[in-house]
Structure formats: structure tokens, C-alpha cells
Homo-oligomer: A and B are copies of this chain.
Amino acid sequence: MTIDKNYLSNIKKIQKDIDKILISYPFPDRPKYLYDPIKYVLNGKGKRLRPVLLILTGNAFGVEDIDLKNAALAVELLHNFTLVHDDIMDNDQMRHGQLTVQKKWDTSTSILAGDAIFVEAQRLIGKINTNSQIIFKRFNDVALDVCIGQAYDKENEGNEEITLDEYLHMIQNKTGALIGLCVEIPALLSSQDSKVCEQLREFGYNIGKAFQIQDDILEIFNDAKSMGKSLGSDILLKKQTALTITARKIVPKEWSEFCYNIENYTIEKMINMLRSFFDQHNIYSEAQSLSDKYLQDGLDNLSFVPESNREELKLFTNYLKNREY
């Protein structure tokens, strides 16, 4: 199934709405040390995938009020907080098509900007009036999941013994949990029963894992411009990804030799060599299948969701399946 043009233009409209709100967010001018980098971050060209999903799900469940808008902004801010801090930890240079905060300013500025973006996310969640306590609880449970995921990610840097299961557990925390929250919050706002909320959360875990595996693939197979961040840092940090773990699993000897030989090349050359290797040994297609499997698992979760609310989430899953950036 390809993506319907009307669907795409609806998504672009929501993205633009989110961008507009973020760009004109009523932050004060001072202290400039705090607000200049925050405004800069929110002006970056993010995909706004999480608030888009939250709003689409809200529409599916008939929630379209101020609570939904605040929740959508809150998940985007939570996401941006983690990016700002992760960029320090990974020493990344580029994010959303511009220099990272710690490259444009410094580490201290970047830590504090991230902290305050996170606080702003909490303040938005604090404005929610419907089922506020459970939503607040879930929001912070997920924030902890994301920290846990990032901790496993850091712990596993250069760990060439990490299994695919361990990797999937890590990305479920780091990426899946927040995407799960984006579909769970609208269900909580419309007071769905706990079985529906739980299955939606699982749906989010599954499509979130698919999304992260796609990211791993795109990091190597797309150019830097469309990803909006610098290529190669994951390789430099010896990060384990769906591709490298699959390579180690299915062609261990060849992969080990390849890693030994690749070390002295430039980043550009390394990426070309990786592309050839992953193509040649069917690792690309293996990772792609794994991503597709999780999208399908997500669709399976939807059988527990009232039929009238399903269509929007199926369309979004299809949109993810076809994304190229």
C-alpha cells in the first residue's frame, strides 16, 4: 500500500502547525543563557513524528481539545530534551539540519537548555485536566524508560557481544516507550478501558522498534542531508545497531574481518563499504524484514482496539513503512 496524497498533506499540515506553535512559543527573552538555545532547538527541522501521531490518534478517538494540544507539545519537548542531552553524550555535531547546542554553544548551556525543555514539557502535562494524574504518571514512567534506554545504549557502546534481543529491549525503552505514550495518551484522554490503553502502548512499542530499526538503516543508506544529523558518529562510537548486530549474527567471520579492515578509511569511504557489505550479505534486507515484522506486530495489537478507531493507526503504520527519511 502506497501513501495516499491526501494523507501525506494532512500529516504535513499537522507538522506545520506544530512547527508554528514551537517557533512562536511564548518563552521570555531573559535569561538569554537559557532561552536562546531553547528557541534555537525548537526552530530545528524536526519531523514532529510524535506529536503528529498523538494528534492523529486523538482525532481517531474523538479528542480534539486543548488537552490534546498540550500533550502533543509535551511529547515533542520531552523528545527534544532527550536529543539535546544525547547529543552531548554522543558528541554529535549536527541535529535537525543545524549544529547541536553543545557545538553552537557549549556543554553547560546544552545541559541547562535540555533541563528547562524537560521542565516545560512537565508544565504542559500539568495543564491537562482530563485523567490528569494517570497521564502525569505515565508521562514520567516513560521519561524514565527513555533514560533507561539511553543508559543501556551507552553501556553497550563497543560491546560486541550484545544480542539482538538485548538491542531490541534497549530500543523499546529508548524509542518505543515514547511512541507508545503518543497513542496511549489520547486513549487515556478519552477514558478508554485499560485493555485498550495497554494494547495501544504495545502498538507504540512495536512501531517504535520498527522506526528505530529503520533509523539504523537510514543512517547508513541515506545521505546526511535527509537525516539532518551527521553520518558516522554511530560507527565512530562503535554503537551497536540492527545492521551491525545482524551482520555479526549471520556472517560473523566476514563481519569480523570487515571491521578489522575498515578502521583506517575516511567516514565517507567507510559508509560506502558498509553499504556494499550490508547489501551483499543480505543484512539490509534482514533488517528491513525485522522492521516490517514489528510494523505487523503493531497492526496485530490493533485488533484489541475498537474498530472505529483503528483506521487512523493503520494509515500511520503504512506511512512509517514507506518513509524514506
A89 to chain B: closest CB distance in Å?
4
What number of A residues sit within 8 Å (CB to CB) of B? 37
From the candidates B115, B136, B151, name the one contacting A147 in the complex (CB within 8 A): B115
A135 to chain B: closest CB distance in Å?
10
Query: Given that A126-B133, A133-B132 are known contacts, is A89 also in contact with B112, CB under 8 Å in the complex?
Result: yes
Interface residues of A in 209-239 (CB under 8 A from B): none
Is A144 an interface residue when CB atoms closer than 8 A count as contact? yes
Is A59 an interface residue when CB atoms closer than 8 A count as contact? no
Is A42 an interface residue when CB atoms closer than 8 A count as contact? no
Query: Given that A122-B122, A136-B126 are known contacts, is A85 also in contact with B107, CB under 8 Å in the complex?
Result: no
Cβ proximity bits A108-119 to B, threshold 8 Å, 1 near / 0 not: 110110111011
A128 to chain B: closest CB distance in Å?
9
Question: Which of A29-37, A244-252, A296-304 lies at the interface with chain B?
Answer: A29-37
Q: Give the copy number.
A: 2
A238 to chain B: closest CB distance in Å?
15
Is A193 an interface residue when CB atoms closer than 8 A count as contact? no
Give the residue name and chain of the B residue nearest to A137 (CB): B126
Is A140 an interface residue when CB atoms closer than 8 A count as contact? yes
Cα distance A108–B87 in the bound complex, in angstroms: 10
A89 contacts across to B, CB distance below 8 A: 107-108, 111-112
Interface residues of A in 70-95 (CB under 8 A from B): 85, 88-89
Give the residue name and chain of the B residue nearest to A84 (CB): B111
Is A148 an interface residue when CB atoms closer than 8 A count as contact? yes
Asked if B115 and A88 make an inter-chain contact with CB atoms under 8 angstroms apart, the answer reads no
Known A31-B151, A108-B154, A112-B150; 6 more pairs at CB < 8 Å:
A33-B152, A112-B147, A115-B118, A116-B144, A122-B143, A132-B133
By Cβ-Cβ distance, the 7 closest A-B pairs, closest first, are A34-B151, A89-B108, A31-B151, A33-B151, A116-B147, A33-B155, A122-B140
Q: List 9 A-B contacts (CB under 8 A).
A: A32-B155, A34-B147, A85-B112, A88-B107, A108-B154, A112-B147, A118-B118, A126-B133, A132-B133
